[in-house]
Structure 1
Amino acid sequence: MNWFRPLQKSILLLLIGWLVTASSLLAQQPTTVPDTIRQSLPQLEQQFVERNFQLLAQRYQLDIADAAITQAGLRPNPNLWFQGNLYNPNTKRVLPFGRPSQADMNAGVYNSGYYAVQLQQVILLAGKRSKLVALAESNKSLTRLAFRDIMRTLHYQLYTTYANLYYDIQALRLFDEELGRQQRLVESYRIALRSGGVAPYEITRLEVAIRDLQANSANYRTQIADDQATLRVLLRQPAGTFILPTELPPLKTTLPALATALDSAQTNRPDIGLSQEQINNAQRNVALEKSRRTPDLTTGVLFEKYGNAYNNFTGFQLAMDLPVRNRNQGAIRSAETTLKSVTGGLENQQVVVQSDVLNAYDKLNTYYEQYNDRPEGYVDRIQNISVEATKAYNARTIGLLDYLDKIRTYQQAQLNNINLMNNLFNTQQLVNFTTNTRFF
């Protein structure tokens, strides 16, 4: 019977190998996730434009800026003033507005009938109204540029989050498949342990590998949860939905000329436009404050019944503050200082934009080099590592430790490839973001 035990052990190990292989094939069958919404990137982008709260709020700011332009163009309202006699102590009468008697008029006594009406209009001088309109139009331009900058930032966040989710799911599938494989292998070895077919340390070694896989899987699940949370906020999706990315645009492996990218950034970046418009806004504000040195003119017409040099007095009025002490000096100095400040801000922003573009180019070139240096057929050969290792282990030509080492190599190679593709896509989007031009 001594020959029977080695044969029994070989048959048991072959059975374990067959069970692991069959279970792996079954584990590769696709599973469905409840409340899953399959969305392409163009579909999400359309929802983003229609639903994003920050964009909607900024559009309201544009409407507010339009209303401010309308308000700035309105002229001051005229002022109507009326004065009458409330109580005449001579006649003991309240509101004596009746026509005086002929006897009183002949005697030059007017105990009733008196009232005065005055109509005044403020006229803005030194072009204040046109300067107010110009400043309001500049404020609208600032609001529009702020909207474009928010759109640029959120668009970049949408694209990179979508890509992160796409590749995080791929990495999770990789670790979940390997976790299922190792768990089934452990269960099979535990069965074999009862008959003495395997050593106890082999099970312990497999359990350690399972803990590593579980930790990696948990990390990617938390990253996916973060990605989903970000997309729910960007798209205002209900809490119970899971957005499943379908595909990414084809990878482009050519860079636009650096000079073209730098020119595009200087021309198209809304933050550059904001800095330029802030200078224009400050200049218009200086002009407005200087115009306020000139006081406004108040004109009016007065009609007075029975209370002036003669009975029906009609006069005109002109009024203006005398600019003796207050010539708006403080406001002018403040506006001029603001102009100096924003002028320096433009130069700084141009340097920041140039640095952003160069940084994005350096990163993308690094990933392009890594991508292009891969040997031909590299990705296919990665897949063969797992296949060949499983075949060799099932045939008992390699041991457990050698098998786990090959599987670990396969996992790391796959993960490196996933990370490289994710970094490539996100860095391409970074170039688009820093130039505000869709090169990719």
Structure 2
Amino acid sequence: MTFSIGSGPRSWLFSNLFWLIGLAAQAQPRTVDVPTTPTATDTIRLNLPQLEAQVLARNYQLLAQKYQIDIAGANITQAGLRPNPNLWFQTNLYNPNTGKVLPLATPSQAELNAQTFNSGYVALQLQQVILLAGKRSKLIALAESNRSLAQIAFRDVLRSIRYQLYSTYADLYFDLQALNLFQAELARQQRLVESTRIALQTGGAAQYEVTRLDVANRDLQANISNYRAQIADEQATLRVLLRQSAGTFILPTELPVTTKPMPVLASALDSALTNRPDLALTQEQITNAQRSLTLEKARRTPDLTLGVLYERYGNAFTNFTGLQAAMDLPVRNRNQGGIRAAELASKTAEAGVENQQAVVQSDVLNAYDKLNAYYAQLNDRPAGYLDRIQTISTEATKAYNGRVIGLLDYLDKIRTYQQAQLNHINLLNNLFQSQQQLDYVTNTRFF
């Protein structure tokens, strides 16, 4: 709707007064390149490489997983240790014939002649368990496989944390840009509302124009609140990754969006099948299950216990030295249950590899298609597109102040400008996120 101005001196004065106030509002500073930072106790400005270095040094999950590797290494050492020998000692605590406690004295000659040993009895036994069927080497091999699993799990945690860090950093960076856009738009429209209120008092504007502009400002305030809430969530995620204090605001400084050519799909698939730690984890689980099965089969063979016994005054002759050998007879228990369980675990691990390979290929195809779509969207924009949308807001405000266009036409142009700017921000974010997703699903730095 167009608001017409009469041809009299008073109408000319109102129209030009309204136009001058609008120009004064437009002359005030607009947006800045650095996004507005919400209130925080302490602001830390970090680029992505700096933030990544701090996460690698301080993240709790990474530190905990490193300890798991150290624990697995200690288990290898333990698996290589041989069983300790067993020393057994026995003597007479109390002799009821003599009433003596611990009668360790050498018997008299008369007692020896009478073969009555009321004192001096001692028995010593030294035993050693000998592991048969190569159990010790198989225990070491299984422990080494467990350490490999811990190392691969560390790589997978590192991959996930890096992706979460890059994704959150980019969301924060672009959300701050969107917040800055809406804050600048709100400041501009608040100035326009004030100039319209002045024109309303002098008869140069209608009441509904002030009301409608107020409603538009409420929409901007709602968008600002939504972005502030998203930024708060992203700050919380980064603080956890960094183990940072609650009062710290992490301000991203830069995020160059690269438009490097996409890798060939076959290369991306090969990289994923070669480098994905979760796939390597399932493959190592097969090795682990096979080594566990080998160990369980070896446990069918009982271990051998060898020993030496020395006994004084308590056996066939005064100083008796005997050789001992002991072994369980594998009559009933031949570790049938343990072997069966290990066989089933091995089959489960083998099936898991095929499933994980299908998951990896699906992940790569999904990420590749998304990235290709955003590249196509970026490349389809005409030359000079960004430069042209920059002038929409200023020209629309000037045209509205000059009463060249009506309020609804003005608001439509402003919404077009805001949506175009927001679409540009979202496109850059989506492009960066898709690049990082492809790097994540292939575990390769393509971008």
Same fold (TM over 0.5): yes
How far residue 405 of structure 1 moved from its aligned partner, in angstroms, is: 1.6
The 5 A counterparts of 1:206-355 are: 206-355=213-362
* Residue identity opposite 2:416 in structure 1: T
What is residue 14 of structure 1 aligned with on the other side? 19
Distance 2:33 2:159 in 1: 40
What is residue 426 of structure 1 aligned with on the other side? 433
Once the two structures are superposed, residues 305-348 of structure 1 have per-residue CA deviations (whole angstroms, 9 ceiling, x without a partner) of 11111101011100000000000000100000111111001001
Once the two structures are superposed, residues 144-199 of structure 1 have per-residue CA deviations (whole angstroms, 9 ceiling, x without a partner) of 11111111111101001101111001111111111111112212222222222210
What is residue 3 of structure 2 aligned with on the other side? none
* Residue identity opposite 2:248 in structure 1: T
Correspondence 1:107 to 2:81: no
Selected match of 1:116 from 119, 123, 128: 123
Distance 1:170 1:4 in 2: 46
Contact 1:262 1:357 in 2 (8 A): yes
- TM (norm. structure 2) is 0.95
Cα separation, partners in 2 of 1:135 and 1:27, compared to 1, 3 Å: closer
Distance 1:43 1:20 in 2: 40
Contact 2:257 2:428 in 1 (8 A): no
What is residue 54 of structure 2 aligned with on the other side? 47
Once the two structures are superposed, residues 374-394 of structure 1 have per-residue CA deviations (whole angstroms, 9 ceiling, x without a partner) of 001111111121232233334
The 5 A counterparts of 1:135-146 are: 135-146=142-153
The 5 A counterparts of 1:150-161 are: 150-161=157-168
Distance 2:386 2:258 in 1: 16
Decide which moves more: 391-400 or 420-429: 391-400
Distance 2:290 2:33 in 1: 67
Selected match of 2:44 from 37, 44, 68: 37
* Residue identity opposite 2:371 in structure 1: L
Once the two structures are superposed, residues 208-263 of structure 1 have per-residue CA deviations (whole angstroms, 9 ceiling, x without a partner) of 11111111111111111111111111111111111111111341241111111111
Distance 1:232 1:119 in 2: 60
Selected match of 2:10 from 5, 19, 34: 5
Distance 2:401 2:341 in 1: 82
Selected match of 1:408 from 415, 418, 433: 415
Cα separation, partners in 2 of 1:341 and 1:66, compared to 1, 3 Å: same
Distance 1:211 1:389 in 2: 20
- TM (norm. structure 1) is 0.97
Decide which moves more: 45-54 or 183-192: 183-192
Distance 1:198 1:385 in 2: 22
* Aligned residues: CA RMSD: 1.6
How many residues of Structure 1 are paired with residues of Structure 2 in the alignment?
Answer: 439
Distance 1:27 1:332 in 2: 71
Decide which moves more: 4-13 or 262-271: 4-13
Structure 1: unaligned runs, 5 residues or longer: none
Structure 2: unaligned runs, 5 residues or longer: 1-6
Distance 1:20 1:37 in 2: 34
Distance 1:251 1:393 in 2: 39
Contact 1:253 1:368 in 2 (8 A): no
Decide which moves more: 249-258 or 234-243: 249-258
Distance 1:333 1:400 in 2: 80
Selected match of 1:361 from 364, 368, 374: 368
Selected match of 1:435 from 418, 427, 442: 442
Decide which moves more: 232-241 or 273-282: 232-241
Cα separation, partners in 2 of 1:117 and 1:365, compared to 1, 3 Å: same
* Residue identity opposite 1:153 in structure 2: S
Once the two structures are superposed, residues 87-139 of structure 1 have per-residue CA deviations (whole angstroms, 9 ceiling, x without a partner) of 11111111000111111112211100001000000000000010000000000
Which aligned runs of 4 or more in structure 1 are off by greater than 4 angstroms?
A: 26-34
* Residue identity opposite 2:334 in structure 1: R
Once the two structures are superposed, residues 275-311 of structure 1 have per-residue CA deviations (whole angstroms, 9 ceiling, x without a partner) of 1000000000000000000000000000001111110
How far residue 26 of structure 1 moved from its aligned partner, in angstroms, is: 6.0
Distance 1:340 1:378 in 2: 58
Contact 1:96 1:111 in 2 (8 A): yes
What is residue 190 of structure 1 aligned with on the other side? 197
Distance 2:289 2:198 in 1: 81
Distance 1:72 1:148 in 2: 25
Distance 1:337 1:250 in 2: 49
Distance 2:290 2:54 in 1: 39
Contact 2:257 2:432 in 1 (8 A): no
